[in-house]
Chain A
Amino acid sequence: MRWLALSVSLVLLATVPFWVASDYYVNIASQILLYAVFALGLNVLVGYTGLVSLGHAGLFGIAAYAGAIFINGGADHLIAILGALAATLLAAAVFAVLTLRGTGLGFVMITVALGQIVWGVAYRWISITNGDNGVSIATRPSPFGLSLATAPGFYWATLLVFLAAVVTIAIFVGSPFGASLRGTRDQPRRMNALGYHVWMIRFLAFLFSGLWSGVAGMLFLYYNQFVSPQVVALGASAEALLMVIAGGTGTLLGPIAGAALVVVMKNVARAYISRWNLVLGAIFVTIVIFMPEGLVPGSVRLWRWAVDRLHPRDVEPGRGARQKSGA
């Protein structure tokens, strides 16, 4: 059943350019995937480490800016990508060292401050970032002679990166290190007494989270062929966090669903409703009221509840209730 669902979704994802009406919608699918990579990366920190970051757009943007600067400096695309990711990892390490002095609200506030510093640099250090006008790049890469200039070409490349992110993060989460990570989220003091290096575990998780934010930032740069200070603004960090929270923190599918929701609302609803932000807000409020745990876990819960109601005899007495509390 699980494998069937997985195979069907893979086939559907791979064939999007064939059954979707126009390039416009293929591009929206690419956007969903690239933001899903960003949200998945952020979720490593928010969901599995229990540290809420409101500065991840800074890391996303550092990758995009660094990539653009490398490319415009004449670097090969491969070098630009590796250079941008190295710069992101370095920035993530600095972010982590500064933010991990606190947890909870202290951590959040330091991430906000760091994100704003990145924004300030992007906006004011005009000789490097071109200020408010942003930086453009001329071309997308053509790995192995395959052009990413077309909407379907770019979509497939993004899909591959997205799948790599999903698989890597799934392995990470199910590993002993992933279990250590969730342990430090739930009982840091106990984990320390059990012999775990809580700070180092969080630091490595921050790097891993930052790395995927950087990958998403590079995808963003290639998608738009442009990056501006808006990308690293506080609103962008908040939007990514909303994707994670709306979809369901600490789940693999949650950030993907959250990214899809936000991107679809931004692009599709905007075409029909001028106050689309209001609609997005209303949707978030609805999610928080009816599914405080997020769309994905919330839907699973409602689905089980509905099944229990419709087929009460299929369920042993009391089992449904217990499953819900365990979910």
Chain B
Amino acid sequence: MTALVLDDLEKSFGGLRVTAAVSLAVEPGERRLIIGPNGAGKTTLFNLITGELRPDRGSIRLFDREITRIPSRRRAHLGLARTYQIITLFAGETLLRNVTLSLLGRSRLRWNPFVRLGRQEALIAGARAALERVGLGHLADRPLGQTAYGERRRVEIAMALAQNPRILLLDEPFAGLSIAERRDVQDLLAAIPRDVTVVMIEHDMDVALDFAEQITVLHFGKVLVEGTRAAVVADPQTKEIYLGE
């Protein structure tokens, strides 16, 4: 069984081929890094995997299940969770409510108009636990608007982890963070159990390198180089397009 298989995936915006015949396979429990310069089509690739965009051609399989035509909301229920590069959280709500909404998304309770959300002890305890996991337990009741950028990044990750995903897609989780905050996020990601497969996008190779086992280099929508960390770093093509040599 393979966790995620992309087969000959193609997406164009007008005349621009943003994803050009991308094929890749991620094994269960793997830590995969997808790198590439800005405009390489990394976020578009994520949007195709989560279903926010429809591919023009090709197919996507999640744990051997064909999901190319499945709406994105149902992919969440199949165990696919993601974070966003541009943070999209609920600014007016508390951290706890943000994570509660994430948990609620996977619960049948979300359709219930009769009970009080504030009284759903199990759900709220789960949300608190998810916040504890990213070291934000003490800020649970603070409105998101009053937290720092680095804390919001961690809320993003807490929301994704709260859904108990089988595959986690991280879209530039280090973007805009200070060195200390990066270290926090790195520790956080290192602590994710192995039953979760993680695919991460990053354009800054240095910050994500420790994390990766397998690396895919994307350039102009195409897979340029793929392999183990050592092989990809040593590859002259990587150096040429990526390290600017």
- The A interface is mostly helix, strand or loop, or mixed, namely helix
Expressed in whole angstroms, the minimum distance between the Cβ of B153 and any Cβ of chain A is: 15
Q: Is A196 a contact of B73 with CB atoms below 8 Å?
A: yes
* Chain B residue at smallest Cβ distance from A181: B113
A325 at the interface (CB under 8 A from B): yes
Chain B neighbourhood of A273, CB < 8 A: none
Q: Is B109 a contact of A190 with CB atoms below 8 Å?
A: no
How many A residues are at the interface, by size bracket? 20 to 34
- Flag B101-116 by CB within 8 Å of A: 1 or 0 each: 1101111011111111
Stretch in contact with the other chain, from A72-80, A144-152, A170-178, A211-219: A170-178
B72 at the interface (CB under 8 A from A): yes
B216 at the interface (CB under 8 A from A): no
Q: Is A187 a contact of B89 with CB atoms below 8 Å?
A: yes
Q: Is A322 a contact of B146 with CB atoms below 8 Å?
A: yes
State which of A174, A186, A190 has its C-beta within 8 Å of the C-beta of B118.
Answer: A174
Q: Is A191 a contact of B105 with CB atoms below 8 Å?
A: yes
When chains A and B are docked, how far (Å) is the Cα of A183 from the Cα of B77?
18
B222 at the interface (CB under 8 A from A): no
* Chain B residue at smallest Cβ distance from A189: B88
Q: Is B88 a contact of A195 with CB atoms below 8 Å?
A: no
Given the known interface contacts A194-B101, A194-B102, A326-B143, the answer about A177 and B110 at a Cβ–Cβ threshold of 8 Å is yes
Chain B neighbourhood of A208, CB < 8 A: 113
Q: Is B114 a contact of A175 with CB atoms below 8 Å?
A: yes
Q: Is A186 a contact of B90 with CB atoms below 8 Å?
A: yes
Expressed in whole angstroms, the minimum distance between the Cβ of A317 and any Cβ of chain B is: 16
Chain A neighbourhood of B143, CB < 8 A: 326
Chain B contact residues, CB within 8 Å of chain A: 50, 52, 72-74, 76-77, 82, 84, 88-92, 97, 100-102, 104-107, 109-118, 120, 143, 145-146, 159, 163
Q: A180-B110, A326-B146 are in contact. List 17 more A-B contacts (CB 8 A).
A: A171-B113, A174-B118, A175-B113, A175-B117, A177-B111, A177-B112, A178-B117, A180-B104, A186-B90, A187-B88, A187-B90, A190-B90, A191-B101, A193-B76, A193-B82, A194-B105, A195-B76
Chain A contact residues, CB within 8 Å of chain B: 171-172, 174-180, 183, 186-187, 189-198, 208, 322, 325-326
The 5 residue pairs across chains A and B that have the minimum distance between CB atoms? A195-B76, A194-B105, A195-B105, A177-B113, A190-B88
